[in-house]
Amino acid sequence: MSHPAPPRSHEPGTHPVRASAVAVAVTVACVLPVFLVGGLAVQMRDELGFSPAGLGLVVAVYFGVGALASVPSGALVERWGGAVVARSGILVSAACLLAVATLARSYPVLVGLLAVAGSANALGQLSSNALLARQVPARRQGLSFGVKQAAIPLSTLLAGAAVPALALTVGWRWAFVAAAGAALTTLPAVPAQSPPPRRRPAGRAGSTTPGLILAGVAATLAAGAANALGTFLVDASVDRGLGPALAGLTLTLGSAVCVAARIGAGWLADRRADGQLSVIAGMLVVGAVGLGLLAWAGPVPLVAGVLLGFGLGWSWPGLMNFAVVRLHPQAPAAATSITQTGVYAGGCLGPLTLGPLAAAAGYPTMWLTAAAAMLAAAVLMLTTTRLLPAPAPLAPPG
């Protein structure tokens, strides 16, 4: 009896550590626009004339376009290879950064440029997924995907560093110029060629299965709830009586915990043969408890909620990519494009729905609603395990 083809190890002549570093560089380069706008919003809004609600709309548009571009980007990666699409994403991102620096003289122009940048994010995410899937041995892919996803919260730290280093000295526009230059420096790191798929997937239907679609819906709910942490945590903490400086430190703590948790989850995934989606469901349940704790006043529920919410409720994207790649080794970009669509949709819809709810009913109600959404995502993720195929067996070492 024949067995499913195992996930491919790295191709001859490739270097797994280098592939992981390239994936991180591509990811950071392609998400810089949105995080830089968030980090420099205070300096930008005085000149371009937008409110915090306007900033939320910019972020929603960015992730909304990313959701629409995700599946086409996955198809492009499967057709042309990860290296070509990665370079395209870097170039689009750098061009948007330069355009913001030179052409953004009004809020509508900024929204339009961030919409274009959203497509670069999709190109970068899907191409880096394919690079890791095809150039890193299967037994080390969990850690590689965890490190790649940890690069996203690290991007917030880079954006924050740009404020005192550039925005407050030479101006926010020069910060975008510097970011564009930094993005372009990653181009030489992308391999000259990436191995094409050994056999073309049997059409889009080969990847778009009911299980993957349900996982994408779960990702939408989970990402929408988890994004509330980064978007509203500081304002909610100040609203509950915390000082602005201490409220900012809670967000820094959450980001650091998120980085460590994403890497740790990937490391542990390499030591577990299967069941990754069930693990994600468990993480979402604990993350929902963390979001629920944020509805209670006091420093202890706040710290516990931040640790659980960021540490488990927002540390699953790398594990999700790893699980989907293991289940669809012949078309990793096309398969992860489905779940990535859900993540981007959550990034778009979360602020648009939870923000008005907080304004109308208060932050405690918003946190409890986010917790309920994350619990629903956990239930859907458990249901997904019954619809997706079992992962192919790993090839023995050596």
**Mean pLDDT over all residues of the chain?**
83
pLDDT band at residue 394 under the 50/70/90 scheme:
low
User: Is the pLDDT at 198 greater than 60, yes or no?
Assistant: no
Residue 69 burial (10 A CB sphere; 0-12, 13-18, 19+): buried
Q: CA 59, CA 32: separation in Å to the nearest integer? A: 12
Region of poorest pLDDT, from 15-24, 88-97, 242-251: 242-251
Contact assessment for residue 314 and residue 229, using Cβ atoms and an 8 Å cutoff: yes
Residue 354 burial (10 A CB sphere; 0-12, 13-18, 19+): buried
pLDDT tens digits for 49-108? 887 778 888 889 999 999 999 999 999 998 888 889 999 999 999 999 999 999 999 999
> In the prediction, which pLDDT does 166 show?
73
Q: CA 210, CA 83: separation in Å to the nearest integer? A: 29
Region of poorest pLDDT, from 8-22, 193-207, 255-269, 346-360: 193-207
Mean pLDDT of 178-200: 76
User: Is the pLDDT at 244 greater than 60, yes or no?
Assistant: yes
Question: Shortest CA distance to 126 belongs to which of 366, 333, 391, 306?
Answer: 333
Q: CA 56, CA 64: separation in Å to the nearest integer? A: 12
DSSP assignment, residue 297? -
> Dihedral of the CA atoms 129, 131, 133, 139 (nearest 10)?
-110
C-alpha gyration radius of the chain:
20
> In the prediction, which pLDDT does 391 show?
59
> In the prediction, which pLDDT does 6 show?
44
Q: CA 111, CA 91: separation in Å to the nearest integer? A: 19
Cα within 13 Å of Cα(204), Cβ side? 9
pLDDT band at residue 368 under the 50/70/90 scheme:
very high
Question: Shortest CA distance to 186 belongs to which of 77, 26, 76?
Answer: 26
pLDDT tens digits for 123-181? 999 999 888 888 888 788 888 888 888 887 776 666 666 666 776 777 889 989 999 99
Contact assessment for residue 59 and residue 351, using Cβ atoms and an 8 Å cutoff: yes
Residue 49: left (phi > 0), alpha (psi -120 to 50), or beta? left
pLDDT tens digits for 107-122? 999 999 999 999 999 9
Tokens describing residue 286: 């604990």
Collect all residues with Cβ–Cβ distance below 8 Å to 77 and sequence separation of at least 6. 85, 126, 127, 129, 130, 333, 334
Task: Report the share of the chain in percent with pLDDT over 70.
Answer: 86
> In the prediction, which pLDDT does 142 show?
87
Regarding predicted confidence, which is higher, 147 or 237?
147
Residue 316: left (phi > 0), alpha (psi -120 to 50), or beta? alpha
> In the prediction, which pLDDT does 1 show?
41
Q: CA 128, CA 45: separation in Å to the nearest integer? A: 33
> In the prediction, which pLDDT does 118 show?
95
> In the prediction, which pLDDT does 205 show?
40
User: Is the pLDDT at 12 greater than 60, yes or no?
Assistant: no
Regarding predicted confidence, which is higher, 208 or 216?
216
User: Is the pLDDT at 224 greater than 70, yes or no?
Assistant: yes
DSSP one-letter string for 354-392: HHHHHHHH-HHHHHHHHHHHHHHHHHHHHHHHHHSPPPP
> In the prediction, which pLDDT does 240 show?
79
User: Is the pLDDT at 398 greater than 60, yes or no?
Assistant: no
Task: Report the share of the chain in percent with pLDDT over 90.
Answer: 39
Q: CA dist 158 to 63, 144, 179, Å? A: 20, 21, 10
pLDDT band at residue 393 under the 50/70/90 scheme:
low
> In the prediction, which pLDDT does 3 show?
43
> In the prediction, which pLDDT does 396 show?
45
User: Is the pLDDT at 197 greater than 60, yes or no?
Assistant: no
Q: CA 288, CA 306: separation in Å to the nearest integer? A: 11
